[in-house]
Structure 1
């Protein structure tokens, strides 16, 4: 079966003009309603879920796929690049708005479920000024695609060191219709020129590696009203001017690499706090922000001593991921107060031997991840702290004594996943499952990943249940 990433599928639909705007919903939300309708009609099938039971990939049945391909051919929806006698040949028509690759050596037609792919070798004969969607895998093709002024969706995937993009050229601003820019570069850190701030149609900037973004030119008053996604950006400074330029941002991923910024390290050494260096308090002014991920690659003790207790986060936030942070009692209370927060991931962010939630209540939190808190020994919490929790993921908690048993009494809890934790944590998870099954609760699932085969067999012998899965 062919499958596609949900976010990519929605972005392609928007770029192709398949989604009609609604008065009360953004295009992405309208697309999600379309997907739900297709799923209800069994035209789309769920292919894979995330750890938090969120749909990551959809797929179509082979018969539906063949029908889509035949309809696309009939409507002249795509053009095909073929490989004959070891040479590339093109079947091209001025009418198609997208360019597709047929992969050699098969004669199979290109999938319409992961379509819109340009030449993998050499240059495609770009003639159509209507071209809306472009995929490429060579830096030399980047300049060619930027000449297509009507391109709405541009994706460049480079897995070869000799072909990676070192810098996106200033000429990108000539693509006045560009909505989505995706770069997957495994070898080089890309950078975005300041001209990016002059592209009002931009909706999504997704650089799979880490990029620098040049600040806007002095006196530039342009605003990217449509920008919804910006990731992953290195050492972003949340100045008031920057926040004013991205008022409708919904998804933001930031990486702070302090070793690369000597001025910041100097400020930290002088006692400055993190929010003073990067003006992180201004994140709270992004009133449409729904998903925020902040990572730090630093192992410096200067960083380890910093807390995010003085952060101010917008009430619109639904998903929050923190990596290599220190969170104190005040910071956790601030996070708990976010009224719409549904997903919280704490990677190497829990400090100290005891983690006590006191009277904190995460009213709408459905998915909780705690990982790499190697100093954590005692976790004090009960069902009142997480009244609607659905999934709990624990990873690399090798000193934690146990999962609070009261967690099992949360009526909405569907799954507990324990990965590479202490044996006592494994056994406490099994006790929670056993207790719930004794009470008649057969909906709770428990997944345990264990490193040693001997421990694996021992755990299997202690308790067996169809709701328990144990893996090496």
Structure 2
């Protein structure tokens, strides 16, 4: 991110007198966005000769040779390249060191992780300041050698936290606070931290995010600004953001890639450019949750408003009732739940609006009356995207007329999806969180007639209707999360044959029988993620994985088993899944006290997660898990040791132990044998030397 202190750190290195003992020549070169390699070469050459005019007409190859000759006749050289934006700069500067026998070095600063890892596989990442460090910097910049007055300390700490750990933010705010001596002044600044940042950064686009934004492809620019619809400091689920981008038509089709793959690439691009903060990764390494930094959130809101990308409906300073702008240009509206009742009281009508969002970072849902819900439906008759998960939603007859909807995310006391929903032929994504006490959600709507439906997410198992016919066009469904086992009939899965992600929850005993519903999974030729969650706490008879399990789900890359209580001997059947990369075994997915995998299995497995297991003895080595990278053990308190043979796995990089204290000693032994190995132990041990 801009403002973290990359250039300042590089300057400290550049000005460190100790460097003169290591390097004869120390050069500083600012690159920037509008670079020309000839200009960079001339800046480097200027350090070695004052007769720079003799080389103004030389081409770049000649200049590289001249610089190389100077470097060859001198001692070690350090070149610092500040603010690099393209990989060509790195390659071009390295040309002046054809044979680096003297150990010349290049230091580079960049905002782009792609470039950082291109230059060095392990770049140095600057971290955000914590709350204490932020306040110390703010205090020093405002009061110099004096301390912060006691009556201003609490305001100062709140302001420091709102700067998000970015030193440049703190410097900007410190400038606004100098000369402010009253609590009222500091309170005003605290309320307007984001506005202070934006207005000050706008004076100098060289330090503001505009530079990074301008270098994005136009499609990615729009996707980035769109992130501003979420509230400040909102943890954004990556899968939800990707679904919304697609529903909004922000992702353009490309040959050989699905819309989801293109959108995921855009999100990774934004994270690698440090425009979006990565919060959590999925077990397969992809982004799970992300967030906009406060400074960037303010940029997105303002830039999006200027481009009419979306409008935020807010109460005014005098608490006036919020309203929609007169212009019909803005097609997307977002609003806080606390403002919604006042907004609906105006009985809004806006046919031009295509998207409506109401997000909240609080757990408590906002309740609306049935009449208010009707007003919401009537206000936006042509709406395409509706995300109101923060509300307790009620269906009405007016809702059934919103057949333009492509994306729906709702919550409420919902027992069933009734037939009228089947007329939503444009619907691509349906996310439903119900608070009903019923064990399943009865889907009465003909989802097989909804030919655009790609993703169906429910928080309780859905009971799906049987398709009227298995002939005709197949369903576009890619995600079913989650369904009841009894819904996995042959005709259902044959219709949904393009499924990539399937989550099944319920009583698994009959489903897992050789002639049970699990045999129908062979209809799914594209299945990549499979989750089996057994709801039965006490099982009278042992259940087993069918012998042909590996054949039924041979394409699966990620498998999660929860409370299935298979025998550990059955785990060897999973080893035959030649594409399996992630295996999660949770809440006694397998029972027994020992596991000895067969040699030659799990050839593609990179991540293994074992949680709440009675496992005591586990024998394994590189022969069983040849490319394992990441191991997680949670509440495996009976496991005596992590197999020491795992240390022989070349790719093994990271291990996490939560509440598995018996295995800690062996885990540390593995760590001691592998350089750059990351071991995390929770809870941390009391001895500071052993705390990971």
For residues 194-236 of structure 1, what are the alpha-carbon distances to aligned partners after superposition, in whole Å with 9 as ceiling and x for unaligned?
411210100100012332223234x464544321000111224
- Preserved contact between residue 230 and residue 251 of structure 1 (Cα < 8 Å): yes
Match of 2:383 among 123, 131, 136: 131
**Higher mean C-alpha deviation, range 131-140 or range 298-307:** 298-307
- 2:522 is matched with 284
Q: How far apart are 1:80 and its partner, in Å?
A: 4.3
8 A Cα contact 1:308 1:328, kept in partner? no
Q: Could you tell me which residue of structure 2 aligns to residue 385 of structure 1? A: 624
Counterparts in 2 of 1:313 and 1:360: CA distance versus 1, 3 Å: farther
- In structure 1, the partner of 2:299 is 67
Aligned equivalent of 1:150, options 396, 399, 404: 404
> Hey, what's the Cα distance between the residues in 2 that align with 1:257 and 1:212?
13
C-alpha spacing 1:413/1:39, structure 2 compared with 1 (3 Å): same
Shift of 1:25: 0.9
In 2: Cα distance, 1:414 partner to 1:306 partner:
33
Q: TM-score with structure 1 length normalisation?
A: 0.81
> 2 CA distance for matches of 1:283 and 1:299?
25
- In structure 2, distance between residues paired with 1:97 and 1:432: 56
| Match for residue 446 of structure 1 among 670, 679, 684 | 679
3-state SS of paired residue (2:275): coil
The CA deviation at 1:50 is: 4.3
Cα deviation for residue 449 of structure 1 reads 2.3
Q: Is the contact made by 1:401 and 1:424 (CA closer than 8 Å) also made in structure 2? A: yes
Asked if the contact 2:544/2:570 (under 8 Å) is kept, the reply is no
Matched residue, 1:172? 421
8 Å CA contact retained: 2:542, 2:566:
no
Of stretches 424-433 and 71-80 in structure 1, the one that deviates more from structure 2 is 71-80
2:349 aligns to what? none
Q: State the TM-score, normalized to the length of structure 2.
A: 0.57
Question: 8 Å contact 1:402–1:428 — kept in the other structure?
Answer: yes
Post-superposition Cα deviations, 1:239-271, rounded to whole Å, max 9, x if no partner, equal 32112111110010000236xxxxxx8xx6xxx
Rate the CA distance shift 1:40–1:306 in 2: closer, same or farther, 3 A.
closer
Which residue does 1:315 correspond to in 2?
A: 554
Q: Judge conservation of contact 1:210–1:255 (CA < 8 Å) in 2.
A: yes
Q: CA deviation at 1:131?
A: 1.8
Distance in 1, Cα, partners of 2:585 & 2:555: 19
Separation of aligned partners in 2, 1:319 and 1:27:
21
> In 1, distance between residues paired with 2:377 and 2:566?
54
> Match for residue 111 of structure 1?
none
Rounded Cα–Cα distance in structure 2 between residues aligned with 1:98 and 1:228 = 27
- Cα pair 1:97 1:128 within 8 Å, conserved: no
Give the direction of change, closer, same or farther, for the CA distance of 1:69–1:60 in structure 2 (3 Å limit).
Answer: same
The answer on whether the counterparts of 1:211 and 1:232 sit within 8 Å (CA) in structure 2 is yes
Equivalent position SS for 1:306: coil
The answer (yes or no) to whether the contact 2:512–2:543 under 8 Å persists in 1 is no
2:433 and 2:533 map into 1 onto residues whose CA distance is: 19
Q: CA deviation at 1:169?
A: 1.9
Structure in which a larger fraction of residues adopt helix: 2
Does residue 246 in structure 1 map to residue 496 in structure 2?
A: yes
What's the CA shift for 1:23?
1.7
Could you tell me which residue of structure 2 aligns to residue 6 of structure 1?
A: 238
Which residue does the alignment assign to 2:646? Answer: 407
Structure 1: gaps of 5 or more residues = 107-114, 159-163, 259-264
- Alpha-carbon distance in 1 for matches of 2:337, 2:358: 11
* Partners of 2:301 and 2:616 in 1: CA distance: 57
| 1:47-72 Cα deviation digits (max 9, x unpaired) | 23346654212223333322322232
> How does 1:50-449 map onto structure 2 within 5 Å?
50=282, 53-83=285-315, 89-91=322-324, 94-104=328-338, 116-118=356-358, 121=368, 122=372, 123-124=375-376, 126-136=378-388, 137-141=391-395, 143-158=397-412, 164-189=413-438, 190-217=441-468, 219=469, 221=471, 223-257=473-507, 274-278=513-517, 280-302=518-540, 304-311=542-549, 312-327=551-566, 331-347=570-586, 348-374=588-614, 376-421=615-660, 423-436=661-674, 441=675, 443-449=676-682
Contact 1:97 1:130 in 2 (8 A): no
Deviation, structure 1 residue 94:
5.0
Q: Secondary structure at the match of 2:515?
A: helix
Structure 1 contact 308–326 (Cα < 8 Å) conserved: no
Write out per-residue CA displacement over residues 138-181 of structure 1, whole angstroms, 9 at most, x where no aligned residue.
332565444212111100024xxxxx112122111121110000
Kindly indicate whether the alpha-carbon contact (under 8 Å) linking 2:283 and 2:582 is maintained by their aligned counterparts in 1: no
Task: Answer yes or no: is the 8 Å Cα contact 1:49–1:57 preserved in 2.
Answer: yes
1:389 counterpart SS class: coil
Judge conservation of contact 1:309–1:332 (CA < 8 Å) in 2.
Answer: no
Coordinate RMSD, CA, aligned: 2.9
Are residue 24 (structure 1) and residue 256 (structure 2) matched? Answer: yes
The 3 A distance-change label for structure 1 pair 100 and 188 is: farther
What's the offset of the Cα at 1:330? 7.0
- 2:85 maps to what in 1? none
**Deviation of 1:192 (Å):** 1.4
How many pairs are equivalent?
426
Query: Residues 273 and 231 from structure 1, CA distance in 2 versus in 1: closer, same or farther, beyond 3 angstroms?
Result: closer
Structure 2, unmatched stretches of 5+, are 1-232, 341-354, 360-365
Output the CA distance in 2 between the equivalents of 1:143 and 1:76.
31
Runs of 4 or more off by more than 6 Å in structure 1? 84-87
Moved more, 74-83 or 193-202: 74-83
Describe the shift of the 1:52–1:25 C-alpha distance in structure 2 as closer, same or farther (beyond 3 A).
Answer: closer
Structure 2 CA distance for partners of 1:424 and 1:285, relative to 1, 3 Å: same
Please, which moves more after superposition, 387-396 or 426-435?
Answer: 426-435
Distance 2:525 2:670 in 1: 39
C-alpha separation between the residues in 2 aligned to 1:174 and 1:97? Answer: 24
Preserved contact between residue 95 and residue 130 of structure 1 (Cα < 8 Å): no
Distance 1:332 1:240, change over 3 A: same
